[in-house]
Each structure stands twice: as structure tokens, then as C-alpha cells.
A and B are shown apart, each in its own frame.
Chain A
Amino acid sequence: MTSARTKKLKPSGTAVPQPPLRRGALIGGLAVIAYLLLTFFVAKANLSIQSVVLVAAVFAVLAISLDLVAGMLGLYSLGQGGFFGIGAYVTTILAGQFGWDVFLLLFVVLAVTGVAGALVGAMSLRVSGLHFAITTFIVTLVLTVLETNLEITGGLQGQLGPAFPDFPKALSGLGAPVAWCIMLALLLCVGLVWNIRRSPLYPVLLSIRDAEPFAEAAGVRTSLIKVGLFSLSAAIAGGAGWLFSFLGVVSPGQFDWSVSLNVLVMVLVGGINTTFGPIIGAMFVSMFPVVVNINPWIQEILYGALSIAAITFLPEGVIGVGRRLLAGKRSGATAAAHTDARPPEAIAAGDPSVDIVAQGGEVIARRAPLDEIMLECRGIECGYGRGPKVLRGVDLVVRRGEIHGLIGPNGSGKSTLANVIAGRLTPTAGTVILKSQPVNGQPPSSRAKLGLRRTFQAAELVREITTAQNVTVGLYDRIPGIVRRAALWPMLPSGRRDTAITQRQAVDSLVAVGAAEWAAERVGDVPHGIEQLTQLAAVCIAAPDILILDEPATGLSAREVAHLARILADLRSQGVTMIIIEHQTRFLFPLCDQVTVLNLGEVILTGTADEVRAHPVVRQVYLGE
């Protein structure tokens, strides 16, 4: 626990060893060299081969731009065709009619499409999911209509794009410069997503996609990240348009909504949320009409049938199927590797009999709660829709260092109160004061920055990554430059070092809560109780000042409950203030300094566990006596 309680990651120079460049780096280097050789052949090849490959490469860039938001954030943008068009038209018009330099135009295009993406994102993410897809779809429709009807764009026929500048004489042996430009751009984009997938930002992005409340509670400003990443995605699509304008005529039909959908087909066919899937999909879709050269209608029918078949029979895409085949072959080997990979101390602490407090090192004597008020709720009123009020005039005072139990029958408003305190629900009246600051109106992420963390009654986690990766999400605001550095992460020595530290801390945190042997398992494969412990590890790793636990003992075995009680007592001794919602009073009461009883949205009583136990009304409404 102590390592988790440091506010920032340790600077370099401390005990954590620098991970050496792995074999992966060597393989990566060889792959890049092979790719450059391929580029050389493409640049020297005849025009028909060159155009097929280059068009496929431009679409691969476009598909990567979509996968960036669709795969990592679950935002199915149908605006990629539109942003693609903006890039191509801005380049063609400003270069052809106004004589701007094409390289200057690259930056213009990136800026214009990036800003456009941010605006569309900010506008459409007010309503989520399907409406995002629809709004971006409409953006593409509107842009196509503008391209067709404006004078400057040359109408339906379009206009010829600019020529790509030649290489200087010394480099003319390299072949067509436009081929180099496009292939290097694709390499850059692959590098970008490759790096992001290996950065600590990746679990955070997936948590925004699958478990947004969890991400928010960890201090992530989710809407900002969504808009930012969509802006980047739009800028990449615009950049693809810039590349595309060098390949010939630019006309509205090349950027309409069917292009947006084809890009989605590429991503889904190749494998969503994979680095190479979009490229495979883009090759399939863009080369299909060239390779299958038959009656155009039959060809379209075949294309339609194939895309349905691909979606139906390969719902995880080509890469997904490949992975499953590989996984089948290797399953024996990986199972062995899992047990090997587990750090020795994890095995030791997996046994709950080992005293966790002793492991953590410094043992602070259990001290009496200080008088300082950590959290105060005054006159909270809250309700859902037009129904009756769920909370009516709730007052709650929690002092520093105390464990405050919150009990009451089902439907008494416990979880609602937790959501009001954490900022997920806005009360209709009343004030929440956190560390003597009124926090009304502040989103959950801002309250997390004040040191408030929480778990959820129904665990909110990302099912497709490991429990340890989920726990690293809790470190979001402890890792400096997690967003800024993500694009280069595994290439930076500091990035590799921080990855090692975060992974170690995540495993340590899982060890501390007694879920060590599950650290390498995907959350989708673990039992319910382990999900609860994973949540607990994800909040403890952030060294919170105040913790709200919503039914943490649900789904735990008796042994695990006993262990949990010890963890919580230890946290208390470290000065963490806690509000615990729980039905198992036998587990809860011995821990609590204060207990508040809610019934029908009103506070019946706040007092010590003994007072609560003795109170006649509590015995009647809750203990059922």
C-alpha cells in the first residue's frame, strides 16, 4: 500500500529498473525497414500498380482515423468521408486557384479539419452513441451537397488536384515522391495508434468507451477526451484528403456518405480496435473493384453480399479470427506463462493469512478521528424524473479519518446519495461540501481531483482487458502527461519506465486487496467478487483522501469479506476517510465510527454502531425486529 500512497510516480533513479529494449523493438525495426523497401518498389512501379497501392494506402489512413474513435472510444463516426472531402477540396482549391504551397496546405488542412472535428464532436456528443453516428452522417451529407452546389468546387465533375512537387535531383532515384509521401504518412499513422495502444492512456480510453462512470470517478474528463480524440481523428481524415488530392480528380462522389460507410466496412471487416485490421480492410475494400473486374452491377452485388457475410461470419474481423486461431494453438503455453509472470510477492499475499499491514511497511496506530469535517451534505433533495423524491432533506457530516456506514432498506436512497456526493447526480436542492469547498455543479472528475474516489454497486470495468490494466485507470491523474505523451509513449525511455511503474503499482494494489492471482486475467473472465476487489484496487492505487464504497462486500466469500475488513481497517489507520454502503451489518458495524440510517429518503439516525443497533425504529425498519 505504501508505494500506492505516493502522490506522484517515483522519479527515475530510484529502485525501478529501466526495462531494456525488448526483442519487439528489433522486430519492429526490421518491419519498418521491410516497409521502406516495399515503398521503394511502389515508388518505382508502373502507374497502374502504383495507383492501386496508393489509393489503398490513403484509405488505410482513413480507416485508421475511424478506428481511433470507433475502436478505442466506441464513437462510430460517419463523418470521415466528409472530413476526407474537406482535406481534398481545401488542398485542390487553395493550391490550384490561389497558388498556395502544398506543404503549407497540409498544416492548413490539419488545422481546419481538426477544428471542424472538435466543433462537430462538441455539438453531437451532448447526445451519445447512435446520435453521434447520425450527426456525423449528416455532416457528410451536408458537405457533399456543398461540394456539388458551390461554384468554387467545380460541381459534380470536380476538378483536377494539384501535382505533388518533385524530389530534388539528388533524390530522383527514389522514384515517385507522392508514393513516398503517402506510404510514410501511413507508417506515421500506424506508429501513432501502435503507440497509443501501448500507453497507459489506452485502458483509460477503453474505460471511457465501456465504463464511463468508472473513468469519470477516476478523474478523467471524458467529454474533453472524446472531443479531443475525435478532433485528431478528423484531422487525420483531412490529412488523408490532402494525400488523395494528389492522385487525380477531386469530385463530390468520392467523399459522400457511402465513402463514410465503406470506411466503416474496412474497419469492421479488418477487425475493430486492432492496429492492422483497418489496413487489411482498406486493402480488401479498395482493391476489390480492381481485382474482381466484372460487370459493375454484379460486382456491386457481390460486394454487398461479401460485406454482409463478413459482418455476419467474422464479427470480430479478420484480425479477430486470426487471433482466435492463434490463441487456440497457444492456449497451453500461455496458461503456463501466466503463472510464471506472477510476481513472487503476489503469490505470497494471495494467501489472506499473510498480514497485509505488515507487508505495507509503516503501521500507524489506529487513531481517533480528527474533528475536521471532510464531507458535509446539507439538505440534499433528489429525485428521478417525475417520480417521488428519493432523498428528502438529507444531512450528513463525515469527519476526517472516520469510517461512516450508510445503511437502510433497498430503495432508501443510499446509492442515490453516493451518486450525489460523487457528482453523478445533481440534487434539486441542498449543498455538498467537500473539504470545506462547495462542489455543487462540479463534475465527478473535478471531485476526483479533490481526492474523492468511489466504487460502484454494479462494477463498472472494461471487460476485455486484464484486472491489472483496469486498476491502472485509477492512476489517471498520477501519471504526468498521460494524454500528451501517449502518441510517443513506448518510444520514450521515460514512457517505458512509467509503464513499468504503473504496472507494478497495479499488481501491488491487487495484491493488497487479495486479488493477486487474478492480475493477468481479463475482467470478462473473473467472478463477481473479484470485480469488486478490482474496483477497490483501482481506487486505493490513487491514494484517495475520501472513499465511497457502494456495497463492497457483494459477491465475496466469507474469507474474502474478512480480508476486506482488514484492508479497510488498514486504510483507516492511514487516515483515509470512508463512506461505506453495505447490507452486511456484521461486517460493517465493527468498522464504523459513525453509522447513518436512511429510510424512504430521510435520515432516521446518525450515531455509533451501538446506538444504531439499540434504536427502536432502526430495529423495526431495517433489522426487521
Chain B
Amino acid sequence: MLQFLASGIAIGCVYGMIGMALAITFYVTRIINFAQGQLMMVTVMVTAELVGQGYSPWVGVAAGLAASAVVGVLSYLIAVRPILAFNRFGFGWLVSTLGFAAIVENAAAYFWGPTSIPFPTILNSTSVHFGDAAVLTGQQILAIVVALLAGAAFELVRRHTLFGKIGMATAADPEMASAFGINTKTVAMVAFAASALLAGLAGVMIGPSTFANPYLGDTFGTYGFIAMMIGGGTERPITALYGGILLGISAEGANAFVNSRASDWFPFLVLALILVVSPRGLFSSTGPLARLRPVRAGR
């Protein structure tokens, strides 16, 4: 009974991290980076490749994350910035970020082939028992911890540091922000690097159980997107994490109570229902949960 909750939270944290990664770049540039899943895949592939060549997993993971960050910044410079420079409110980025995703994904498939290669186990072989109710692998617990830490760190930076406030200012009105002397290009590049790192971390968390595959980005990118939408991450990035956890629980729950393939469609049903009830997401400031909360001044 509790098993599906526990493993749902674990996988949900991975979805949530990708959702947050999407939300961070959305927060600063008002675009959804459709190459986010592919940024996660880059970390997974590079890590697997280096570990396969005999490097230590630490080196592999570090190089993988660095590679994601670089590709993330490139995605901004190539697929986002030129488009927004032409028309900040247009929708050209839908096409260009998707084009970027196609390039990254197919380049990976070209180099590594379409089949999966092994990924270091990390903590996947240890298991932790919670009484008789549930059992999680060390890797799953690691995923939960990392996701919560990342979410908390992001909120701390956003609310309590100058950089976070610069990010907020850029998000609200880039022209005004640059009039204040903020280099919005740098802010956006940092946001894309951070978001790629977060997606890469999600890849490191899930890699031991999925193995490394060039097409990993498709599935996880989609689930990350759903996590963001359910949560309302377009307003507050942290809510994407809540959305991811909800998504993970509902997927695992569907597997446990409906049938073993129900996780293929059940989350989409949840998503559709939530968007009917609350188009801006469940945890957004106008969402149904916000109406229950007492009104506080500022946020």
C-alpha cells in the first residue's frame, strides 16, 4: 500500500526536477525549452560513456553535468536569444527549441546508436526497508533528497539573494531590467546553465534504472512538462516539484490499482482533469489550493 506512495514520490521527484528545470528557464525568458529532456539525456550519455571507458563515476557525473550546462547555454544562444530578439512575444521558440532538441537527440543517436548502454549503479543496489510497508533503493532516496535540496536551494536563491531578485526583475520586464543596468543576457545564460544542471541531476538520479539511451529525453521531457503544468510552474518554479510528486504518485498508483500499463495513460488523464479545474496549475497563486490559503502580504 505504502509502496506505491514511496516509489511514486521517488520517481515524481525526478519528474519534478525536470519540471523545475523547465520552469526556471520559463521564469526568466517566458519560453518553454523543448530541448530540456535532451539536456538531461546529455548528462546521462556522457556519464555512461566516460564510466564505460574506465573513469570513476564521480568524474563521469561531473563531466556529464558540465556537458549539459554547456549544451544548455548553447540552446539559449542558438535557439532562444535570436528568436526573442526579433519578437519577444512571438512563438518562434516553439520551433527553434524543438529543432535544437532534434539536433541533440539525433546527434546522440548517431554517435552512440539507438540502443541502451550501461549506466553506473551508484546507490541502486542498496535497499532501505521502511518496516514492512515499503522498500526503496538507495538511489530512490537519493533522488528525493536531491530534489528537495535543489528545490529549497532554488527558492532561497530566488528570494534572498541579489541574483534571485535580478532574475525576478528580468522575468517581469526584461527591457526595464536592462534599463537598470542588468545584463539580461548573462542572467538568461546562468538560468539556462542552472536549468540544464538540474535536468542533468535528474538524469543521474534515474540513469541507474533506465540505462543510457539517446531517446531518454523524449519521455522524461514530456513528464517534466506535465509536472510543470500540473503544479503551475509557469508562475512559481518550485510548484513544478509538487506537480512532479503528484504525477509520480498518480502514475505508480495507476500501476498498482488499475493494471501494469495504466501509467502510460493515467497521468495524462490527471493532467487533463487538473487543467479543466485549474488552467494555471494546481499550486499556482490563482489555483484552487491558493484560494484555501490565508492571504499573506507579498510572497
A residues whose Cβ falls under 8 Å from a Cβ of B? 70, 76, 78, 123-124, 126-127, 130-131, 133-135, 138-139, 141-142, 145-146, 148-149, 258, 261, 264-265, 268, 295, 297-298, 300-301, 303-308, 310-312, 315
Contacts and interface: CB of A to CB of B under 8 A. Distances in A.
B87 interface: yes
Contacts of B90: 315
Given A138-B271, A311-B83, A301 B279 contact: no
Contact of A308 (B32, B100, B105, B275): B100
A281 to B, nearest CB: 11
B102 A301 contact: yes
A142 B109 CA distance: 27
Contacts of B257: none
B288 interface: no
Contacts of A310: 95
A133 B102 contact: no
Closest 7 CB pairs of A and B: A304-B102, A300-B106, A304-B99, A304-B103, A307-B99, A297-B110, A308-B99
A131 B228 CA distance: 13
A135 B275 contact: yes
B268 interface: yes
Nearest to A313: B82
9 contacts: A123-B279, A130-B234, A131-B279, A131-B280, A265-B98, A304-B100, A305-B99, A306-B99, A307-B95
B57 interface: no
Nearest to A131: B279
A303 B276 CA distance: 35
B82 A301 contact: no
Given A301-B103, A307-B99, A149 B264 contact: yes
Contacts of B96: 307-308, 311-312
A264 B91 contact: yes
Interface of A is mostly: helix
Contact of A301 (B78, B79, B110, B275): B110
A138 B226 CA distance: 9
B99 A141 contact: no
A467 B123 CA distance: 68
B268 A142 contact: yes
Interface in B66-117: 78-79, 82-83, 86-87, 90-92, 94-96, 98-103, 105-107, 109-110
A141 B276 contact: no
A373 to B, nearest CB: 39
Nearest to A146: B265
B249 interface: no
Contacts of A141: 222, 226, 268, 271
A142 B92 contact: no
Given A138-B275, A145-B264, 11 more contacts: A78-B94, A130-B30, A141-B271, A142-B271, A149-B265, A261-B95, A264-B94, A300-B103, A301-B106, A301-B107, A304-B103
Nearest to A143: B268
Contacts of B107: 297, 301
A266 B82 CA distance: 19
Given A135-B279, A308-B78, A268 B95 contact: yes
B106 A127 contact: no
A616 to B, nearest CB: 39
B261 interface: yes
- Find the residue from B82, B94, B107, B265 having the highest chain A CB count within 10 A: B94
B279 A124 contact: yes
B83 to A, nearest CB: 6
Contact of A127 (B101, B109, B269, B279): B279
A315 B101 contact: no
A446 B64 CA distance: 60
B117 to A, nearest CB: 16
A613 to B, nearest CB: 40
B189 to A, nearest CB: 18
B214 to A, nearest CB: 9
B199 interface: no
Nearest to A134: B229
B265 A308 contact: no
B272 interface: yes
A130 B271 CA distance: 17
B86 A315 contact: yes
Nearest to A298: B110
Contact of B103 (A261, A264, A305): A305
Contacts of B264: 145, 148-149
Contacts of B32: 134
Contact of B269 (A70, A142, A264, A265): A142
B243 to A, nearest CB: 13
Contacts of B83: 311-312, 315
Contacts of A70: 91
B272 A127 contact: no
Nearest to B297: A386
Nearest to B229: A134
A142 B264 CA distance: 10
A293 to B, nearest CB: 16
Contacts of A145: 264-265, 268
A70 B103 CA distance: 26
Given A131-B280, A142-B268, A297-B109, A315 B92 contact: yes
Given A123-B276, A135-B279, A149-B265, A76 B94 contact: yes
B272 A142 contact: yes
Contacts of A307: 95-96, 98-99, 102
B102 A300 contact: yes
Contacts of B105: 300
Given A268-B95, A298-B110, A312-B83, A126 B271 contact: no
Contacts of B261: 149
Contacts of B100: 304, 308
Contact of B79 (A123, A135, A265, A308): A308
Nearest to A306: B99
A306 B102 CA distance: 11
A138 B229 contact: yes
Contacts of B92: 268, 311, 315
A141 B99 CA distance: 19
Nearest to A123: B276
A331 B271 CA distance: 53
A261 B97 CA distance: 11
Nearest to B92: A311
A297 B106 contact: yes
Interface in B145-192: none
Contacts of A130: 30, 234
A237 B109 CA distance: 32
Contacts of B78: 308
Contacts of A305: 99, 103
